[in-house]
Structure 1
Amino acid sequence: MKWKSTLREALLIVLVAVVVSGIVYEIRPDKINSAKISPNSGSVSGLSSRGDAAARLPESEGQADENQNIREISLEEARQYFDVPGTIFADARHELDFSAGHIQGARNFVEEDQDAWLNDFLAETGPDTVIITYCDGDDCHLAVDLAEVFVLSGFTRVYYLKNGWTQWQKKGFPTETGKEGRQTAEK
């Protein structure tokens, strides 16, 4: 009957570990997945007629902290950003979906492969770069998840486009196919 006693002790240890980790998680200031999503905040209105890229970028409302930097963007606003040099469209879909078709000039960032691309991306990209993430489908969470990775990495102008690929195609906006833009560890 010694194994019953050992099993009871093991279960008690697991239970205590779960309770303690839950308490620690609740009191931590830097909880996982803590980015707050603010739908449709920020605007691209008032674009400069002279085409100055800096003048074309929207200003954040107030001083946003790390948890307020992810904002949903409308298709029209995303299309305006498409013409602003330096804007990065980040496709969060699987490599096969990206290769089959994506927003023209988009780069493919699969979150599960972030160890392969994140350090290089951080080294070559300024923190105030406008990044618009997208995936496909109304229920797709990959764009928001990828946007959160960018915010937690220090980027301050991160937007996500809900159902971005389908919306972009329906409007007939520029698209392309192929693997170019795929982010990997190899250069």
Structure 2
Amino acid sequence: MEPVSYSISVETTLALIKPDAVHKSEEIEDIIQRNGFNILERRTLLLTPEQCSDFYALHYGKLIFPGLTAYMSSGPIIALRLARDNAIAHWKSIIGPAKATESHPECLRAKYGTSELQNALHGSGSLLAAERELRFMFPYTVIEHVHTREFTIEYLSRHVNQTLMQGLVELCKHKPLNPCVWLADWLIKHNPNKPQISYGV
């Protein structure tokens, strides 16, 4: 039997709907979902200039920095935690580059943005950036990999189902008074991954 190749998990990334596009949030979120993303979390917030400075710390010292922090604190924004395979690259391709109006007229920044600064949407640039930015916008959320349905089915099929089915058959034969405890004990005793003890002669 050939080994099965499958993706272990999908990526998560941060999407921000910026102040100039919040009024189009329902339309944008519909586009997001039609592109195969799951919206795991959604949060509307109003950042202070200091919080914007912290979020965009990598841009500190650039000419755009003062205007960027002022703009991002000028009104409510919507933070979204998105998930799908290859989420970071896919979201970046959909929103397009910062200067998107002429070079990528089909992208979301061209459609909803009004300038290079007020470009409607933000997307994390890398896995490390996504983790940092998600923790910033969703500080009480545990950021972890989201397993695909295919991975879950494959994992259960390979490592759980056979032993569990044997245990359930035995459970039906014995009909114990406390079936959950009985099944737990049976699974511990019949764990196929339990270390084998060998006694020396």
Q: TM-score by structure 2 length?
A: 0.22
Structure holding more helix per residue: 2
